[in-house]
Chain A
Amino acid sequence: DVKVTQSSRYLVKRTGEKVFLECVQDMDHENMFWYRQDPGLGLRLIYFSYDVKMKEKGDIPEGYSVSREKKERFSLILESASTNQTSMYLCASSFGGRPGYTFGSGTRLTVV
């Protein structure tokens, strides 16, 4: 069964910490994405990547960075976590040129 795996389901971090959210896919997909989901705001795109070592800003990149050193792994980094980054973070992947995504199960991050 093909999968997008996010390393943690729940995380609690302190304000100011550097936070790493990991995502791994086993489908040999070229494209990978990070979204956050908040009540009343839907899914908003943070960063995406179409290839190894390549990254593009989404709609809300401020306060985040990403790393893609290998095709199967896409990491989201919160440089200095803040309470307004408390959210559900969703990783997704897709084949190049095809619009459908496969999502991971999500990471519920709470920043205190």
Chain B
Amino acid sequence: DQQVKQNSPSLSVQEGRISILNCDYTNSMFDYFLWYKKYPAEGPTFLISISSIKDKNEDGRFTVFLNKSAKHLSLHIVPSQPGDSAVYFCAASLNSGYSTLTFGKGTMLLVSP
């Protein structure tokens, strides 16, 4: 059973507009969430994270929102740039000292000029 779901395999956005990537989870014990960005033929790189004690975390053009009651988080990229074109993975962690990350299947974002 998939515990972290990214239901949109792909998203196309014009440069300068907002990109919104969504992620849902089923395990209410998850309490730390991360977004990773992956270019082809490279490993994922950490983008931004949020703890369950917060509902928003912002870092430059990237903002992550968490709605615990809905078990939903989203990543907003404003403004979107062509260099943001990549696959974005949502990941979740249990609050134990030795917890692995559970990843979604990823959303491919294409930002066109």
Interface residues of A (CB under 8 A from B): 4, 9, 31, 33, 35, 40-45, 48, 50, 58, 90, 92, 96-97, 99-106, 108
Q: Which of A4, A43, A99 contacts B99 (CB 8 A)?
A: A99
| Cβ–Cβ contact B100 & A103, under 8 A | no
- Contact size range, B: 20 to 34
Complex interface residues of chain B between 79 and 106 (CB less than 8 A to chain A): 89, 93, 97-101, 103-106
Q: Main SS of chain B's interface residues?
A: loop
In the complex, what distance in Å separates the CA atom of A99 from the CA atom of B56? 18
Q: How many A-B contacts at CB < 8 Å in the complex?
A: 55
- Complex partner residue of B100 from A42, A45, A106, CB under 8 angstroms: A45
| Interface residue from A35, A45, A50, A100 paired with B46 (Cβ < 8 Å) | A100
**Alpha-carbon distance between A67 and B58 when the two chains are bound, in angstroms:** 39
- Docked complex Cα distance between A3 and B49 (Å): 20
- Report if B9 contacts A (CB, 8 A): yes
